[in-house]
Each structure stands twice: as structure tokens, then as C-alpha cells.
Chains A and B, each alone.
Chain A
Amino acid sequence: MAKYLLLKHYRGAPAAVNDVPMDKWTQEEISAHMKYMNDFAARLEQTGEFVDGQALAPEGTFVRYDGEGRPPVTDGPFPETKDLIAGWMVIDVDSYERAVALAGELSAAPGAGGKPIHEWLELRPFLAEPPTVTE
């Protein structure tokens, strides 16, 4: 088994094919999208492949240490930052091929006009524990 992170971006990924923001969809299109996402996660729980899923607020803050006795420096949000993560799903699957297939399925979630969004999702393998057998 291998764990993969499926990353969804607010910004930084190539544009989706069906790239219409959700606040321009009809109520039925929004409901269909939500149902697709919920069903997808529920099915992965059934197959024993779902680990975690979380969504992030669009805006955050950069923070860094500023020396002994001084409060940390905060800055941002930086509108020019290229990458902005919207959320993630962690899956635990048998193969890279399975992870790609699932990411493809998630990217097919319906959007405007009830048609698949074809959104680009980023697939990142976890760095796992070293195996016991080394020779």
C-alpha cells in the first residue's frame, strides 16, 4: 500500500477545461457537484482507501522567526504567490496506477452545465517508512 496526497488548488494549477466559478452555476449543478464529491469519499471509505480529506480557507499568513525575544514576523497574504492550495484528500492505495485512476475520477466531478470540470489535481506520493527487508 502507498499513500498519496491529492491536492486541489485555488490557484497555481493549469486552468480546468470547464472553468466556470461555482457562483455562476445553477442550484442543481451545485447539488450535483456536492453529491459527486460526497459519494466519491464515501466509496473510498467503503473500499478501505480513504485516509483523510480537508478543505482550507483561501487566505493565510506567512510567519517566520525574528530572533530571540522578538515576536514572530507575519506577512501576507501575498496575492502574487503562484500556488494556493484549496484542500486535499489522502488515499492509501495499492499502486500508482490506482492513485492516478482515482485522481482522474475526482477531476471528473460535474460543474457548469452538468459537464465534468476536468480540473487539474496534483498527485504527490508520501515519503514512506523504510522497509524492513533491505537486501
Chain B
Amino acid sequence: MRELIPEVIGVLVRRGADFAAAEDAVQEALIEALRADPPRDPKGWLVTVAWRRFLDTTRSDAARRRREERVDAEPPPGPAAETDDTLQLYFLCAHPSLSPASAVALTLRAVGGLTTRQIAQAYLVPEATMAQRISRAKRTVAGVRFDQPGDVATVLRVLYLVFNEGYSGDVDLVAEAIRLTRQLAAVVDHPEAAGLLALMLLHHARRAARIAPDGSLVPLAAQDRGRWDTGMIAEGVGILQTALSRDRLGEYQAQAAIAALHADAPTAAETDWVQIVEWYDELVRLTGSPIVRLNRAVAVGEADGARAGLAALAELDEGLPRHTAVAAYLHERAGDHSVAARLYAEAARKAPNLAERDHLTRQAARLNTET
């Protein structure tokens, strides 16, 4: 039922509810829907219940008068408006006036229909904190008109954050990010929306192979490729090819192209690193990002040898996140095992999360205990 939320909020807004009240009303209607028998016409049911909820909470005479005037002025909802409503809701929840954390929370609640408790669990903060973050976000966008055009790029950044930074709880944020991006790509004609969807599918396809039974990270080269989801890879590649054929390259399409080249290699040794370096060159051109240059140095190390990779690395700032980890890897490939072991241990101390720290510690230990 959650996929109906954008349309239902859109109906309420066009009937005269403001966004914050409409969103609250739809959320309450969804909770009610969980208790009731499944309705035969879920959308009609949700609209009816949410509208009743909205009326219950806006009882004053003045409010009623204003509402009736607005209802008279509103055109009846039609099928064409539905895709527009979905898109408008994405724009509003990713509005540039919101901080990234607020935009993420508002998108998950208003577009995704997750409860505040679920979102709080996913980001490991108290429910009251998340409730405040969401209501502040709603106040921030209260003055934004629902029909103002927005920037798809800001929406894509929010969805990328949801995909990349999910934690725990009973909601799979990665799957939710894919669902929301798929829904967006269906209503907006934008090659980067398709590019992001392809990128997500190609990475998600490797999920089962990425974590060992003992919980440790498995690097790409060591993954059991038989455990990759080939159906999901095929879907991602198909979406990417259609997007690339439109000749409007962007960073998500380029990242997806790199993921597709990895997915395409039957074994790690058969990876087309030369083409991957070319895509990194495109990404450097598109973003200028030093992180991309760092990843490019790894690819150069595979395509042209570890010494070439180290030369590319030498041009970059040593303070970059994961610079030490990349240096360790390239030194190991170049045969300097003692240097690599020392760098792996140093990289472990600088690691941004436990899984990476444990992985890097294991790499250091592997080299220190080899005979």
C-alpha cells in the first residue's frame, strides 16, 4: 500500500490540505489500514480515511471556511496528475533548504511511508529525536508550493544517501532506496535517475557475496561470483544501456558502468581494468572528486601494474579517507609485504567503520603471520 502514498498525499493537497497535515493524515490512515481488512480499492480507501483524519484535525470554523473555498477552486484529480504528484513529493522532500539528514528522514516518511519509529531505528537515534527532525523538516518546507519544479539531482543525492548509509532495524533501507528510485525513474525522464537505479541494482546484486558467514567483509576480487544475483545484474545492465544510449552521461551512469564491468567478468582475473580506468577518467572529468581519483589509482594499479598505481596515488593528498588502505593494497601488489603490513595496520586505525577496521586488521595479520 505504501506505493500509493505520493498519490494520496497529492489528492489531499489538491483538495486544500497543506503538505504537513496531509502527510500526517496519510500516515495515520496507513496505520489504520494495518488494523483493518485489506480494502478492495486501497487508494480510494486511503483517500477517504486520510481525508476524514485531516478534517478531524482541522476543525475550526475559519479553517473550514478556507478549506471549502479551496475545495471549490480545485480541479478534480485525474490520472495525469498522479505522476506529477509523485514527482512533486520527491522534490519537496529533497528541497535544497533541507539538510541531507532532514531530507533523508522526510523522504522516507512522506514518500516511503515508513513510520518515525522505523526511521529512528534505521539511523540508531531515539524516536523523539527523529520525530523532531521530521517535524522541523516539514516546517522548513511549509512555504514551498507543491507545484514548483525541483531539481532531480537533489532528489537523486538523497536516494543515494538512503542506499549507501542504511544501518539496522526492521526495515531494509537498501531495498527501500531501490523501491523509491524505481518509482522515481518511472515518472521522470532523466538518464541519471535510470543511472542511479542501475547503480543500486548492480551493487545490491552482490550483497549475498559481500559478507562472509563470520560477518567479515569479502573484497570484490575474493567474492564467490556464483552468489551474485544474475537476474538483478541483467536488469541493471539493461537499464544502464538504455540510459547510456541517450548520450547524456552523468556520474551515476558512469559509476554504474564501472559496476557493470565488474559484474560482467566471470572471474576477478578477467576484469576489463583498461575500460574501468577509462570510466574513472570520465568520472574525474564529471566530478573532479579526489575520492574518485583515489579509486582510479586502484584501477590503474590493476590495468598497468602496481607501480603505475602507486605513481597515480603519489599525486593525491595523503589525508584523503582510505588513502592509507589503498597504499597498503598497492604495496602488497608490488611485493613490498612488510611496508604493506605496516600500512594496513595504520589504515585499520583510521578506518571509518568496524567492518573495514576488522578487514584491514585481518590484512595486516595475514601478511604478518605468513611464512
Binding site for B on A (CB under 8 A): 21-27, 30-31, 34-35, 38, 55, 57-59
Please determine whether B216 and A23 come into contact, CB atoms closer than 8 angstroms. no
Cα distance, A118 to B323, chains bound together (Å): 34
Cα distance, A25 to B364, chains bound together (Å): 9
- CB B343 to nearest CB in A, in angstroms, measures 11
Cα distance, A58 to B348, chains bound together (Å): 10
* Pick from B349, B354, B369: contact of A26, CB under 8 Å: B369
B358-371 contact mask (Cβ, 8 Å, vs A): 1 or 0: 10011011101100
Whether, in the assembled complex, B344 has its beta carbon less than 8 Å from a beta carbon of chain A, the answer is yes
Cα distance, A118 to B72, chains bound together (Å): 76
- CB B78 to nearest CB in A, in angstroms, measures 51
Cα distance, A31 to B362, chains bound together (Å): 9
Cα distance, A59 to B324, chains bound together (Å): 15
User: Inside 8 A of A57's CB, which chain B residues have their CB?
Assistant: 349-352
User: Inside 8 A of A26's CB, which chain B residues have their CB?
Assistant: 365, 369
Binding site for A on B (CB under 8 A): 214-216, 341, 344-345, 348-352, 354, 357-358, 361-362, 364-366, 368-369
* Total contacts A-B at CB 8 Å: 43
Cα distance, A24 to B361, chains bound together (Å): 9
Please determine whether B349 and A30 come into contact, CB atoms closer than 8 angstroms. no
Please determine whether A30 and B361 come into contact, CB atoms closer than 8 angstroms. yes
Please determine whether B369 and A24 come into contact, CB atoms closer than 8 angstroms. yes
User: Inside 8 A of A58's CB, which chain B residues have their CB?
Assistant: 349
Please determine whether B349 and A27 come into contact, CB atoms closer than 8 angstroms. no
Please determine whether B366 and A27 come into contact, CB atoms closer than 8 angstroms. yes
User: Inside 8 A of A21's CB, which chain B residues have their CB?
Assistant: 345
Q: Is the interface of A mostly helix, strand, loop or mixed?
A: helix
- Nearest 6 A/B pairs, CB to CB: A23-B364, A23-B345, A23-B365, A31-B214, A58-B349, A26-B369
User: Inside 8 A of B368's CB, which chain A residues have their CB?
Assistant: 23-24
User: Inside 8 A of B364's CB, which chain A residues have their CB?
Assistant: 23
- Nearest-CB residue, chain B, relative to A25: B365
User: Inside 8 A of B345's CB, which chain A residues have their CB?
Assistant: 21, 23
Instruction: Jot down 20 A-B pairs with beta carbons below 8 A, ordered by A.
Output: A21-B345, A23-B345, A23-B361, A23-B364, A23-B365, A23-B368, A24-B368, A24-B369, A25-B365, A25-B369, A26-B369, A30-B358, A30-B361, A30-B365, A38-B215, A55-B354, A57-B350, A57-B351, A57-B352, A59-B350
- Nearest-CB residue, chain A, relative to B358: A34
- CB B63 to nearest CB in A, in angstroms, measures 42
Please determine whether B358 and A23 come into contact, CB atoms closer than 8 angstroms. no
User: Inside 8 A of B361's CB, which chain A residues have their CB?
Assistant: 22-23, 30
Cα distance, A24 to B344, chains bound together (Å): 12
User: Inside 8 A of B357's CB, which chain A residues have their CB?
Assistant: 55
Please determine whether A31 and B216 come into contact, CB atoms closer than 8 angstroms. yes
- CB A5 to nearest CB in B, in angstroms, measures 18
Please determine whether B365 and A24 come into contact, CB atoms closer than 8 angstroms. yes
- CB A114 to nearest CB in B, in angstroms, measures 14
User: Inside 8 A of B365's CB, which chain A residues have their CB?
Assistant: 22-27, 30
Please determine whether A27 and B362 come into contact, CB atoms closer than 8 angstroms. yes
- CB B222 to nearest CB in A, in angstroms, measures 13
Please determine whether A59 and B214 come into contact, CB atoms closer than 8 angstroms. no
Please determine whether A34 and B215 come into contact, CB atoms closer than 8 angstroms. yes
User: Inside 8 A of B352's CB, which chain A residues have their CB?
Assistant: 57
* Pick from B214, B215, B348, B350: contact of A23, CB under 8 Å: B348
- CB B102 to nearest CB in A, in angstroms, measures 24
User: Inside 8 A of A24's CB, which chain B residues have their CB?
Assistant: 365, 368-369
Cα distance, A46 to B357, chains bound together (Å): 27
Cα distance, A35 to B364, chains bound together (Å): 19
User: Inside 8 A of B215's CB, which chain A residues have their CB?
Assistant: 34, 38
